[in-house]
Structure 1
Amino acid sequence: MASQPAENVAEALLKRAHSPDTAGTIFRERVKQRPLLLRPSSPDPKRDARSKRQYDRLQKSKKQRKSTNNKPKPLSAKQKRALCIYEIPKEQQKYAIYEPLHLMWCAYMREILNLGVSEGKRTYVDANSAGPVLVGADYHGALVEVVRSRCASRVGRKGIVVKDTKFTFEVVTMKDELKILPKEHSVFRFEVPFERKQEEGGEGGGIEDRVVGRRPLCFEIHGSQFETRAPDRANRKFRMHFDPDL
């Protein structure tokens, strides 16, 4: 024999306040037969202006998040080394390729040191005036030579700087070889020639270039004091002091 279904709680409460017939009618019309109205979880954007603005802001934020997530991440240092991004290809390790760069660098050094033969230019430099300038200068394109080093095999190596890293100078030699010269415990020498002067020729009245009868200025820098990246070194302040290592 099937058990009778338990009485609904709402119907039992209605019977306490009303007669059984009235309670049954109210329960049937107000509870069992009451329509269930469904609406979307978000308001219709076309219903009013406020809902439309909220909907537009929501769509805009979703679009921004989507565009941000699709942005590629920068390569890590390990990935850059694996892809050889900063390595110079073998076919570009030619001394003749970087000779114009060296000429540009010489003009750059003459400009920052204010050297020249024209009026208002200097023909000599001293440590107090040239020291701070040389410390913050860019050496990409400089023709450097190792004159002293704790490692005897490095002495005499000479080439044009193609990469100035934190701890090394990468140079291309006249034999079209790429050499890495550590800065630590090494002294580098480079020269800055004076500018050329144009003078009128003889009978032909032409203009010829001749180098001013002055020897180029020769500088020596201690690599241990240049163990910083080139962009960081340009904004850094150095103090003159004696280096006891060399």
Structure 2
Amino acid sequence: MASQPAAKDQNQDHVALDLLKSAHSSDTANTIFNERVKLRPLLLRPTSPDPNRDARSKRQYERHQKAKAQRKSKKPKPLSAKQKRALCIYDIPQSQQKYAIYEPLHRMWCEYMREILGLSDGRRTYVDALSAGPLLVSADYHGALVEVTRSRCVSRVGLKGIVVKDTKFTFEIVTRKDELKVMPKEHTVFRFEVPFEDEQQRIEAGAEVAGVQGEDVKGRRPLVFEIHGSQFESRAPDRANKKFRLHLDPDL
């Protein structure tokens, strides 16, 4: 009996009860205090060690985490875009800006285009826009011998060279004068040719027929294509994995 008045006096001195009485009646304040404050369980995080892990396992785990952190700190971080530009990683050095260096690349590219267009076996002698259009859009143009036929910048018209770098917005070409030119794709039309057969094979075939007939034989004229650079404003790997659909272009 003597402990009840002491508990009552303890509740009367509690700060939470005083705050509740300022907003509610005395009975309501006592009820809320007993149910929401006094009898509410206090959740504490256990501080005792994990019984499932002994001291030896704990030391092994700590050594493993420490070694993992050291390996991660020693791993070199990749260069940022700013650092790559400062180091000129993707720039072609002056000694490599020679047209003769990229002529074998152009011959390989011609063979690559004949293969994707179905001209390598010699059965197909023509292409149309419906069949060749998606193939040309998704093709890789590193090694193509392109010529600027139309451009908003008149000084670029007539420039011709082998594509050595196909970026998202530009074609970097090396001309016959061993000059590196950066050609923007936007508002520019490029022309390139795809021969039906390799130049050396055409010469050999012409020599054989000429020896039989006693006259010179001219090979078939190459296929000529024109592409609008605005439609190729994407990286070569992205174009290879992208599906294109026919749509009207206001610039055409």
TM-score, structure 2 as length reference: 0.70
Equivalent position of 2:230 in the other structure: 224
Question: C-alpha distance in 2, partners of 1:58/1:211?
Answer: 81
For residues 117 and 67 of structure 1, do their structure 2 counterparts lie closer, same or farther at Cα, with a shift above 3 Å needed?
closer
Say which SS state the counterpart of residue 89 (structure 2) adopts.
coil
The answer (yes or no) to whether the contact 1:114–1:122 under 8 Å persists in 2 is yes
* Equivalent in 86, 101, 124 of residue 82 of structure 1: 86
* Deviation of the 1:50 alpha carbon: 4.0
Question: C-alpha distance in 2, partners of 1:211/1:185?
Answer: 40
Structure 2 counterparts to residues 1-246 of structure 1, below 5 A: 50-116=54-120, 118=122, 121-196=123-198, 197=201, 201=208, 213-246=219-252
* Deviation of the 1:220 alpha carbon: 0.5
* Deviation of the 1:233 alpha carbon: 1.2
* Deviation of the 1:117 alpha carbon: 5.2
Aligned length: 192
Tell me the amino acid that sits aligned with residue 242 of structure 2.
R
Q: Deviations over 1:12-67 (max 9, x none)?
A: xxxxxxxxxxxxxxxxxxxxxxxxxxxxxxx9xxxxx9433332222112101110
Question: C-alpha distance in 2, partners of 1:212/1:127?
Answer: 27
The answer (yes or no) to whether the contact 1:195–1:211 under 8 Å persists in 2 is no
CA-atom RMSD, angstroms?
A: 2.5
* Deviation of the 1:212 alpha carbon: 7.1
The answer (yes or no) to whether the contact 1:161–1:172 under 8 Å persists in 2 is yes
For residues 201 and 78 of structure 1, do their structure 2 counterparts lie closer, same or farther at Cα, with a shift above 3 Å needed?
same
* Deviation of the 1:213 alpha carbon: 2.2
Q: Deviations over 1:203-241 (max 9, x none)?
A: x99xxxx99721101111000010111111111122223
Question: C-alpha distance in 2, partners of 1:124/1:212?
Answer: 18
Q: Deviations over 1:71-125 (max 9, x none)?
A: 111111111111111111111100000000000000111111111354xx31111
For residues 105 and 159 of structure 1, do their structure 2 counterparts lie closer, same or farther at Cα, with a shift above 3 Å needed?
same
Larger Rg: 1
Tell me the amino acid that sits aligned with residue 74 of structure 1.
P
Question: C-alpha distance in 2, partners of 1:159/1:201?
Answer: 32
* Deviation of the 1:242 alpha carbon: 3.3
Say which SS state the counterpart of residue 101 (structure 1) adopts.
helix
For residues 211 and 195 of structure 1, do their structure 2 counterparts lie closer, same or farther at Cα, with a shift above 3 Å needed?
farther
Question: C-alpha distance in 2, partners of 1:135/1:105?
Answer: 15
Say which SS state the counterpart of residue 137 (structure 1) adopts.
coil
For residues 138 and 81 of structure 1, do their structure 2 counterparts lie closer, same or farther at Cα, with a shift above 3 Å needed?
same
Say which SS state the counterpart of residue 191 (structure 1) adopts.
strand
For residues 212 and 73 of structure 1, do their structure 2 counterparts lie closer, same or farther at Cα, with a shift above 3 Å needed?
farther
Tell me the amino acid that sits aligned with residue 107 of structure 2.
L
The answer (yes or no) to whether the contact 1:195–1:212 under 8 Å persists in 2 is no
Q: Which moves more between the two structures, 192-201 or 125-134? A: 192-201
Say which SS state the counterpart of residue 178 (structure 2) adopts.
coil
Say which SS state the counterpart of residue 95 (structure 2) adopts.
helix
Say which SS state the counterpart of residue 176 (structure 1) adopts.
coil
Structure that is richer in helix per residue: 2
Tell me the amino acid that sits aligned with residue 228 of structure 1.
S
Say which SS state the counterpart of residue 63 (structure 1) adopts.
helix
Tell me the amino acid that sits aligned with residue 75 of structure 1.
L
Name stretches of at least 5 consecutive residues in structure 1 with no aligned partner: 1-42, 44-48
The answer (yes or no) to whether the contact 1:194–1:212 under 8 Å persists in 2 is no
The answer (yes or no) to whether the contact 2:111–2:120 under 8 Å persists in 1 is no
